[in-house]
């Protein structure tokens, strides 16, 4: 069911006038704009949640936009749903009740498939679930710029495999529960409780006590370079603007808004092409980009017969409600030129039946320009091969440009869903980095068939890595290169002289055949390459399958045992 915006406005409240509706931008039928005076918000949210709760590979996408004010609501967040407050500060939108994600749709409250949902820029005072805000999520999710006036549980009683938290304040306790791994960046809370395999805290003002390996906490005091994700909000006159937070390059901790509004620049919506899936295609979107417009993509599927090409410095491409760019003609879905200050966030990018060399390309081969003064930023960038439809690609994301910063990537060769299979969804790599001084916070790469991450550039930094090796190699002969069994998940090229990574977890489930990977991680052995806090886990699989070493021939095997760790 798609609820038209006109219907939403008509049934919401008599206090929303025709002139109000006419003044609102035409975001399309799947963007719902809520005002505190409206009386039918809960029914609308409940109807969409019933549709989206189990819609793991469905085609509908939604955004809830909350105007500043107070609300009493239970906002349950399903698949492909984004919940956004439109205030300048998170507390400008105050929801009493819950903004929550549970896992009742899977057996045993298993949240390991609670993908593709996020909440941003609001406050929540929990009164559900014993006054605890449940946020039981896994990959391709985000909680950003959220103030929870109480406690948060990151699980729902069963397994969970997340996740990402940034620029958030939790007044009470965060209980990680069964979360296998988690990245928290530039946040604060009353207390953190829990650990499982790999918990990383970057720029958190009060991280938990204890350090790797028991509990498996990795703490980095300051975030070296960051710009928070742009967000939609209202200005003083009630007009829609996109706030672009300032760049911070000298080390930060805690939230950007603890002392007041986040420093940044407000761009009026008139500077954006408001993309609609039923109206736009690659030609019209590229025409808008060529004309100097930014892009704001509303929810839906965007089949692309050619790539979107971002060629102007400072261009913003921002997605609302998981807009899905589909590579349909063997090309990338998105190409970013080697120019400074490009900002891309909130996109789901999907491979097509015709093989592409890559889905996202940043810069061109041989790029040499320094972008240190104004880096390229990519936030909440999610790619998949299979699952929603059959697809194939050599590498999901390829970064040629120097000084690119990524913040929350999930690059997923599907292990279930449509087209998922060893021969039906071929995909060698998740990420290849050729540029220098590339930084990633929260890199999730899963099930690719060869090296999942290849790092060829110098000066790279990765804060948190989570990877599952492919579940489905049909035999050891099919999953071998030269005389080496399997492929490492994380490969730093032999010529690299400087690279650092913190908090790396590589897991395996080889269900199709008794295969072994020689190493989880491979790097050159040189003083400038520093890998800290690594863990391998054998989740399950065929007898005599697993990972032989953690890194470079060292670290215990996980073949007859479950877990190995290296400092």
Query: Tens digit of pLDDT for each residue in 226-261?
Result: 999 999 999 999 999 999 999 999 999 999 999 999
pLDDT of 515 > 70? The answer is yes
Confidence of residue 3 (pLDDT cuts 50, 70, 90): very low
Confidence of residue 152 (pLDDT cuts 50, 70, 90): very high
Model pTM?
A: 0.95
Query: Tens digit of pLDDT for each residue in 55-98?
Result: 999 999 999 999 999 999 999 999 999 999 999 999 999 999 99
> What are the CA-CA distances from residue 254 to residues 146, 189, 222, 228, 373 (Å)?
13, 10, 9, 12, 23
Which helix or strand (DSSP H or E) is residue 172 part of?
A: strand 169-175
**Alpha carbon distance 321, 478 (integer Å):** 39
Q: Which domains does the chain have, with CATH numbers?
A: 5-220 (2.160.20.10), 272-566 (2.160.20.10)
List the 516-522 sheet strands across, edge first.
Answer: 308-310, 334-336, 356-362, 393-399, 427-433, 453-455, 490-492, 516-522, 546-551
Confidence of residue 24 (pLDDT cuts 50, 70, 90): confident
Q: Which of 53, 228, 468, 522 is catalytic?
A: 468
Output the average pLDDT for the chain: 95
What integer pLDDT is reported at residue 11 of this predicted model? 28
Confidence of residue 125 (pLDDT cuts 50, 70, 90): very high
Burial of 4 (0-12, 13-18, 19+ CB in 10 A): exposed
What integer pLDDT is reported at residue 242 of this predicted model? 98
Q: Is 236 an annotated catalytic residue?
A: no
Region 262-287 average pLDDT: 98
Region 197-213 average pLDDT: 96
Query: Tens digit of pLDDT for each residue in 363-419?
Result: 999 999 999 999 999 999 999 999 999 999 999 999 999 999 999 999 999 999 999
Percent with pLDDT over 90 in the chain: 95
Count Cα neighbours of 323 within 13 Å in the Cβ-side half-sphere: 28
């Amino acid at each position: 069911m798609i609820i038209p915006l006109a219907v939403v406005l008509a049934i919401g409240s008599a206090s929303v006038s025709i002139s109000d509706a006419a003044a609102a931008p035409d975001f399309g039928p799947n963007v719902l704009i809520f005002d505190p005076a409206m009386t039918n918000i809960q029914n609308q949210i409940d109807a969409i949640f019933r549709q989206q709760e189990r819609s793991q590979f469905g085609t509908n996408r939604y955004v809830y936009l909350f105007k500043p004010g107070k609300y009493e609501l239970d906002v349950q967040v399903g698949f492909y749903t984004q919940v956004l407050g439109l205030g300048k500060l998170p507390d400008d939108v105050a929801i009493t009740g819950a903004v929550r994600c549970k896992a009742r749709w899977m057996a045993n409250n298993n949240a390991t498939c609670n993908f593709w949902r996020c909440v941003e820029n609001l406050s929540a005072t929990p009164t559900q679930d014993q006054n605890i805000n449940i946020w039981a999520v896994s990959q391709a999710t985000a909680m950003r710029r959220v103030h929870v006036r109480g406690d948060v549980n990151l699980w729902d009683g069963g397994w969970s495999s997340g996740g990402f938290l940034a620029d958030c304040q939790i007044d009470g306790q965060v209980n990680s529960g069964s979360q296998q791994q988690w990245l928290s960046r530039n946040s604060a809370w009353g207390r953190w409780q829990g650990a499982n395999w790999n918990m990383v805290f970057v720029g958190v003002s009060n991280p938990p006590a204890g350090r790797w390996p028991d509990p498996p906490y990795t703490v980095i005091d300051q975030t070296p370079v960051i710009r928070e994700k742009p967000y939609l909000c209202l200005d003083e006159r009630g007009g829609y603007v996109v706030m672009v937070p300032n760049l911070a390059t000298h080390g930060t901790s805690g939230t950007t808004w603890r002392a007041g509004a986040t420093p940044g620049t407000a761009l009026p919506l008139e500077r954006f092409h408001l993309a609609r899936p039923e109206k736009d295609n690659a030609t019209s979107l590229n025409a808008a980009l060529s004309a100097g417009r930014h892009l704001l993509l509303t929810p839906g599927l965007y089949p692309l017969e050619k790539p979107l090409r971002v060629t102007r410095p400072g261009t913003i491409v921002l997605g609302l409600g998981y807009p899905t760019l589909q590579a349909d003609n063997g090309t990338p879905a998105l190409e970013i030129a080697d120019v400074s200050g490009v900002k891309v966030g909130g996109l789901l990018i999907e491979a097509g039946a015709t093989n592409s060399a890559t889905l996202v390309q940043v810069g061109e081969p041989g790029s040499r320009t320094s972008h240190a003064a104004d880096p390229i930023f990519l936030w909440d960038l999610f790619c998949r091969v299979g699952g929603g439809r059959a697809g194939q690609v050599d590498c999901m994301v390829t970064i040629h440009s120097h000084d690119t910063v990524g913040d929350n990537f999930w690059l997923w060769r599907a292990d279930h869903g449509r087209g998922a299979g060893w021969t039906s969804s071929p995909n060698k790599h998740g990420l290849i980095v050729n540029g220098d001084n590339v930084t990633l916070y929260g890199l999730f790469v899963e099930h690719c068939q060869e090296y999942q991450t290849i790092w060829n550039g110098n000066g790279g930094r990765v804060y948190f890595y989570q990877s599952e090796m492919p579940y489905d190699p049909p035999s050891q002969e099919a999953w071998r290169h030269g005389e080496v069994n399997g492929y490492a998940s994380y490969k730093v090229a032999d010529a690299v002289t400087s690279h650092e990574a913190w908090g790396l977890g590589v897991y395996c489930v080889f269900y199709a055949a008794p295969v072994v990977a020689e190493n989880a991680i491979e790097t050159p052995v040189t003083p400038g390459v520093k890998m800290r806090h690594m863990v391998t886990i054998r989740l399950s699989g065929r007898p005599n399958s697993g990972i032989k070493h953690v890194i470079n021939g060292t670290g215990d095997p996980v073949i007859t045992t479950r877990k190995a760790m290296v400092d």
